[in-house]
Structure 1
Amino acid sequence: MPAPVQPGFFQAAAGNYGYPTPPGVPMNAGPESPLSAFPRISPFEHQFQQHRVDSNGLWSYRASNNGKRHFLSMEALFARYQNPGGALIGNVGTQSYLGMVEDELIDATDDEVFDQFSENTGLPYFDQKYFNNVPKLNAPGFRLRWGWYNDDESGFEFTGWWISRADSDWSAIEQSTHKPNPANQAIMDILLSPPNFIDPAGTGVVSSIPGVTTAQVNEVLQNELMNLGGLPLDDGTIDGVTVPYDLDFRVKAVSQAWGTNATWLSTPIVDKKSLKVRGLAGARYMQVREGFSFVGRDSGLLYSDATNIAGIRPDLKLFSLPTGTDENEDGIVDNAGVVEDDSTGGGTTGTSTAFFVAPVDPVTGQPVQPYTTWVNNTVDTHLAGPEVGFQFDLGGDKFKIWGQTKVGIMANQEKIKLNGDNVGMGIRADPDDIDRPKALIDPTAADPNPNAFSDSQSHTHVSPMFEQSIFMEMAIFDKVPVLKRMKMLEEAKLKVGYTYIVAGEIARPYDSIRWQGMPTRGLFPSIDVERESWSVGTWSVGLDWLY
């Protein structure tokens, strides 16, 4: 009897194996399953996925397995601090030294000499000086930048930078037509050290230096005393005084800055193939230190063309016109105490004999000694606060130009310190003189620095801040022989750029002084705060890594 049909199996072959069975349903037969956006789980899922709308209104999809991408840059900086500017070294509105001794100069010489000083541009007579004589304030430094980018192109960065102290000084001797002679230095050192070798009795120079005659001392003084500069002061009178310095007149400016900031970078606001623009927000701390010092040295002498003390006039230090030539051919250019002949003027305006006197205090009988005036003023500024801005990136992986623009509002904490000594008309010796009273107090054993002074102030206020930077990054090391074999340069890019930082409402030491000087009447320099902008510009070159 035939075997029963067993559905669901394929029919067996005919023969000794029994009866064939009918075929079953083929595999994968039937209707298809519905479509699914995620039909199965994949072991290769992306760590980052993002849907967004492009500018043309279409949906776009971004996926990435990169994770955080860190960056590090190290740069050498070549900075230039803002210069002191054109502020006057001294009190604004004080009469010049030439105006102060006009009558005395004319009496000692004639109207023609006075006219030549007053009319010829570039012929100074203990002229008032300005801070713009100070050379540029250049200094090196370095900057470190580290941070990361997320998969969505947002990120975070930390930046720290430091610029070394710039010291720039200027001496009026550099511009003087009358230069000191090193061969005379030994005699000058003796003359400027107590006891005073200038006879206060009125007979002029008296030499007790072995092997040196009075005539030689006179010649040394004519050669070594210089027409350098004047310091204008408010001495309590209407016109004030300009103090002359005939041995040294120099100014030194110093500046230093460093800072750090932390910045959050947003996802790109503009995201094109070769252009990205993103917002920035963060916080900054910055410290600025500025200062200046002034040093003026004076012989304490009065001198003129004379044969005795009767020819000496108050406040007058007589000099030849600073032409840089030896008109009287005596081997000394632009003598002190003598006006050299000037035949080009159509007449003889020269004088021949120099006479040097140290003024004497009639009360104490003490002559004026050589003295040194010095003034130091420093400002230490701390800035901290929030900042916002934007960053642009233009280019690709091999070559890119990018920059940042930031503005901020900073809390400004500043401390100003002022000190100095001997600020006053030191060549005046008579305390009872109504028109020209003694200005400096005589030192004693109990008080060796009676004319010294100091002042300090601290303030807190708000300062605006602006920073603009632009950089260029180039992947060039793989094209340079030898360098392309260096492991550390495999992922490095050359980075060059420029950064400019400016902060407003900064107290600067050059302007923040009230230039008063009359210690015998209790007048000393003091702090008078004036604020303006401060800036620093830095060129940079370094390496940048993305890892």
Structure 2
Amino acid sequence: MRTHRWFKALAFGCCLGAGADAFAQAPFMGGGQANWIAADGSAVPPQYAPQMPGTFQAPYATNDPGVLYPPGTPQTFAPYPQVSPYGMGNYSEDMTYNQGGTWFRQILNKRRDYYFNVNALSTTTRGPGHATIGAQPIKLDPLTRGPAGYPVPNYGEAPYPGATTGTGGTGGTGSSTTTPASRVFVDDGVSPYPIMRPSATGAPTYEIDNTLFPIRSTRLFNEFNSPGIQLEWGFEEENGSGLKADAWWGFSSDQTFQRGTDRIDGVIIDQQLILDTEGQFLFTRNGAVTWDTGLPFTSVPGQDQLHGSTLGAQKYDVMYRVNVQSQAGGGGLQMMMPDLFPSTSAIRLRPVYGAKYTYIGETFDFRGIDSGLSYDIGTGTGGGTGGGTTGQSSTFRPDPWGTGGPNSIDSDLFETRVSSRVRTHLAGPTAGIRYDFGRSRNFKIWGQSSAGLMANYEEVRLNGFNAGENLGTRILLGTNMLDGDSRFSDSETHAHVSPVFEQTFMSESKILAALPGTREIPLLANANFRIGYTTTYIGNVARPADSIEWNGFPKTPKVKIDYQTWSMGKLNFGLEWTY
């Protein structure tokens, strides 16, 4: 006979129930010892361990049942948040909100994630600016390479002044032509033409050729690039709020522009060596510096009177060297507020408030060496002019003078130094917004924009020696800059307010946990790989090259600040650990 499986299971259950004693439990009355009875109502001796009192935790003597909710709550219940025996007691947020006509209740448990990251930085800081290395020179005409002058208007109603007089150029037959005075040369700058003597007893003359002794500027230099390091520590709550502290440092970066040298093969170049080698160590294209001496520049040979300008261009034909240096560091503390969007949104938007500190240290150093000699500048044979003749081009070096020596030995070889140092400390509050795209712990992209006002305390120091033009001023004043103590020093400290703006973009991913070489190393596999870029702009910052008033003997250089905008970009690569 075929028996169904369910019937066998039912029969087995009935047999098992018929052969067992049945027990029942008395109602539980709030703890104490239980009483057991058999199915027929007779008492059964205790067979199990005594039951503990039925309370959730020890009663609190201060609990007032009259103020507990709901009414009648026994004293055995603990105060908030342990009111309910089913509550975990770690609520961070209990929010009820209406969305689309439906009420929702969102309960977030407390979950604080701590994190620490270390980043390698590649910093790019704005260059030293576009300041002229020297006092502001007079305006020059790009075609004639002479003073630009001011055009005299005649409105088409009259001839130019001096239409029948004046010295003009040379005509094709060697005769003089007449050039009317169509320009008036008025300028309050410094003459860019160094002065040299045509002979030992000759009157000093200006070398009117802007290609011989160039006036340079800090456009010689590019942006500063240097490595750095950044550390961050903080925590985040499950609702997005949190705290972050960071510190970073960009190492020193320097750039140097140099023409000429002060020694060759370890031998110091002095004036006697220059004389013995007929000046072939000298090079006019090294550069020159314009010094505002305050002495009037009376005339330029071949030009009309130049009113308002001063003399002061000093050549440095042995060596012209400029060095600039920059370093920066800082840190900050930021407090993030809870998300503005609900936790179901893929985008997180959080206000950020904080305080920021930044240190900027920059240096400008100039060093120039002049031979103290006057000489004729040599010419070399240039290329053909197209008609079978050869032209002449300057060698920018003295004509070899043989046994006759240079035109004039005006002074001993001398050196000029100017050093400007700026140390800036900035601190103040910032406010901004942080935006995260995605909530995954494996990959996310986020950015942050913040701005603020920072208290700026700066120290500017300027020092050096032999600042000035040495030939023309000596003839006009009768005193020599090199005869006395020509050292100078000046300093200023200022406190003011500087605006700051900072923008950050960052990506974080668990890519190291997927790579064959790193996923076997727990320290790397559990870390987030971070790559990002931060741009910082700070206004009203003193820069060393823009903080010099280039006064020359008999005056001395002074601190004169022209505030500029300082900026830095930080590219970071790093690892972050969450615990």
1:497 aligned partner = 532
Q: Distance in 2 between matches of 1:197 and 1:473?
A: 63
Deviations 1:282-301 (A, max 9, x none): 11111111111011111111
Classify the secondary structure of the residue corresponding to 1:464: strand
Counterpart of 1:244 (choices 290, 315, 324) is 315
2:425 aligned partner = 382
TM-score between the two structures when normalised by the length of structure 2: 0.66
Query: How many angstroms does 1:102 deviate by?
Result: 7.5
1:315 aligned partner = none
Q: Distance in 2 between matches of 1:101 and 1:268?
A: 63
Q: Distance in 1 between matches of 2:570 and 2:121?
A: 6
Q: Distance in 2 between matches of 1:192 and 1:370?
A: 7
1:166 aligned partner = 253
| Aligned 8 A contact 1:302 1:356 in 2 | no
2:489 aligned partner = 454
Alignment of 1:419-498 (within 5 A): 419-427=463-471, 431=474, 433-434=475-476, 440-443=481-484, 450-498=485-533
Deviations 1:249-308 (A, max 9, x none): 11111111111111110001124432100001111111111111011111111112xxxx
Count of residues in correspondence between the two structures: 425
Return closer, same or farther for 1:372/1:39 CA change in 2, 3 Å cut-off.
closer
| Aligned 8 A contact 1:473 1:494 in 2 | yes
Query: How many angstroms does 1:39 deviate by?
Result: 12
Unaligned 5+ runs, structure 1? 1-9, 14-35, 109-113, 119-123, 174-179, 199-204, 208-216, 305-317, 319-337, 361-366, 444-449
| Aligned 8 A contact 2:193 2:207 in 1 | no
Q: Distance in 1 between matches of 2:564 and 2:217?
A: 17
Counterpart of 2:364 (choices 286, 292, 301) is 292
1:447 aligned partner = none
Deviations 1:73-114 (A, max 9, x none): 111000011101221111113478987698989989xxxxx9
Larger mean Cα displacement after TM superposition, 44-53 or 351-360:
351-360
| Aligned 8 A contact 1:359 1:427 in 2 | no
Counterpart of 1:368 (choices 398, 403, 411) is 411
Q: Distance in 2 between matches of 1:469 and 1:418?
A: 36
Counterpart of 2:564 (choices 529, 532, 538) is 532
Return closer, same or farther for 1:234/1:490 CA change in 2, 3 Å cut-off.
same
Q: Distance in 2 between matches of 1:476 and 1:102?
A: 63
Give the residue type in structure 2 aligned to 1:222. Q
Give the residue type in structure 2 aligned to 1:192. D
Counterpart of 1:276 (choices 336, 339, 348) is 348
Q: What is the percent sequence identity of the aligned residues?
A: 27
Counterpart of 1:41 (choices 69, 85, 103) is 85
2:118 aligned partner = 74
1:230 aligned partner = 288
1:307 aligned partner = none
1:259 aligned partner = 330
Q: Distance in 2 between matches of 1:462 and 1:495?
A: 34
Q: Distance in 1 between matches of 2:87 and 2:219?
A: 71
Aligned-CA RMSD value? 3.5
Classify the secondary structure of the residue corresponding to 1:423: coil
Give the residue type in structure 1 aligned to 2:532. G
Give the residue type in structure 2 aligned to 1:279. P
Give the residue type in structure 1 aligned to 2:494. H
Q: Distance in 1 between matches of 2:492 and 2:194?
A: 42
Deviations 1:397-428 (A, max 9, x none): 22111111110111111110000111112345
| Aligned 8 A contact 1:418 1:454 in 2 | yes
2:224 aligned partner = 137
Deviations 1:170-216 (A, max 9, x none): 1235xxxxxx899x757x73x606xx478xxxxxx5x5xxxxxxxxx
Classify the secondary structure of the residue corresponding to 1:510: helix
Return closer, same or farther for 1:107/1:458 CA change in 2, 3 Å cut-off.
closer
Q: Distance in 1 between matches of 2:193 and 2:336?
A: 67
Query: How many angstroms does 1:480 deviate by?
Result: 0.8
| Aligned 8 A contact 2:418 2:463 in 1 | yes
Rg: which structure is higher?
Answer: 2
| Aligned 8 A contact 2:195 2:313 in 1 | no
Classify the secondary structure of the residue corresponding to 1:483: coil
The reply to whether residue 192 of structure 1 matches residue 270 of structure 2 is yes
TM-score between the two structures when normalised by the length of structure 1: 0.70
Query: How many angstroms does 1:459 deviate by?
Result: 0.6
| Aligned 8 A contact 2:513 2:526 in 1 | no
Return closer, same or farther for 1:44/1:266 CA change in 2, 3 Å cut-off.
closer
Q: Distance in 1 between matches of 2:130 and 2:568?
A: 17
